[in-house]
Amino acid sequence: MPSDNPTPVAPTYNQLIEAVRTLTERLQILENVSLTQQAQSPQLTIPNVVPSAVPPIDYRILPDVGTSIWSFTGHESNSQAEDWINSVDGLAQVNQWPLRHRLQYVRSHISQAARSWFLLEEFKDWDTFVQSFKTTFVRALRKADLWRELESRTQKPNEPTIDYFYAKLGLCRSLDLPFTDTREYVIEGLRSQPLTDWVYGRTHSNRDDLLSDIRDWERMRAKRKEKFESAGPMFPKLRKQKSTTEQPSAKSISVAPTVPPKVTSDTIAGSSKSEREPKTDVSSNRPTIYCFNCRGTGHISHDCPKPRRPMKCSNCSRTRFEGCVGQCDTGGRVGRTHVARSATYKLLKTSG
């Protein structure tokens, strides 16, 4: 029984080529018809459609609002007050704070006179607050005040040079000084004399060249200080050694220390009976003084603290003899000791 569905037969190669050619001709006819219709129809203006811009991603960095702005008291200078209000305004603009947040932030960062001023005023918008703040605390300085401040501004002890440099540069800029005058004022306010001499001899065309020379000098000074001061100074040591070697060449004078005499009971008892022995300055250039009473040196018999020795005849050497001329029974000439009015000096004179 034959099947109802005929068996498909594949076309031949020539049949395929003929089919492709027929389709190509039909497509060509359709394209020509479409071009003819476009040429005959009126031109329609199609508006330019701009695609909607994609909103950019807003990146924000949360600042440390507690420490980023210092507390304003109202006692600051004009430049400090202007810097403070510009810092607060910039922080508020970046973070897009509303008005109440801005005023609350300002209130938490003011004190003393500035806080009293803030409580007395009413601010409807932020621009009014900024303008009122500048009118009150950022006053226009007179030229005379600026000149006095410029003349008195010098580098303070232990102040970094770069801090002084930009502070002095700001004062010169407020007076609209040219660079040549600015250079003079900056150099004359430097604390280091070697730095002043070296920088003044250099040639500078702008402030960057001036600052570069200052920083180079400080860098070289720090390197030399690190290398040479770590080993210690050499010249003071040599000078000290020289002074110590020259000391033995000088004439040494040995001075015996004065030792107080030992106090005993005998000394105390003897001091009540006799006078205190005077201090004598015995010089090597003077002749030695002898005492004929105690045979000691340094005093004479008149000042001798010891008991008097009995008088003795210089002719017969007898004691307890009341000396007078003619009483010595030994004959011959009598010595001058018997007739001397004072026993201070004993002149021994033998008979001729």
Distance between CA atoms of 130 and 124, rounded to whole angstroms? 11
pLDDT at 346 over 70: no
* Total residues found in the chain within this entry: 352
- pLDDT tens by residue, 165-196: 999 998 898 888 999 999 999 999 999 899 99
Tell me the mean pLDDT in the region 145-163.
90
- pLDDT tens by residue, 254-309: 545 555 555 555 555 555 445 455 555 545 556 678 787 888 887 887 788 888 87
| Per-residue confidence (pLDDT) for residue 78, from 0 to 100 | 83
pLDDT interval class at 50 (50, 70, 90):
low
- Least confident window among 15-29, 61-75, 111-125, 325-339: 325-339
3-state secondary structure of 116: helix
pLDDT interval class at 321 (50, 70, 90):
low
pTM of the model: 0.42
Q: Which carries the bigger pLDDT value, residue 30 or residue 331? A: 30
Phi, psi torsion values for 132, nearest 5 degrees: -65, -35
Distance between CA atoms of 151 and 147, rounded to whole angstroms? 6
| Per-residue confidence (pLDDT) for residue 322, from 0 to 100 | 54
Closest among 226, 223, 218 to 191, alpha carbons compared: 218
Task: Name all domains of the chain by residue range, CATH numbers in brackets.
Answer: 78-137 (no CATH), 143-227 (1.10.1200)
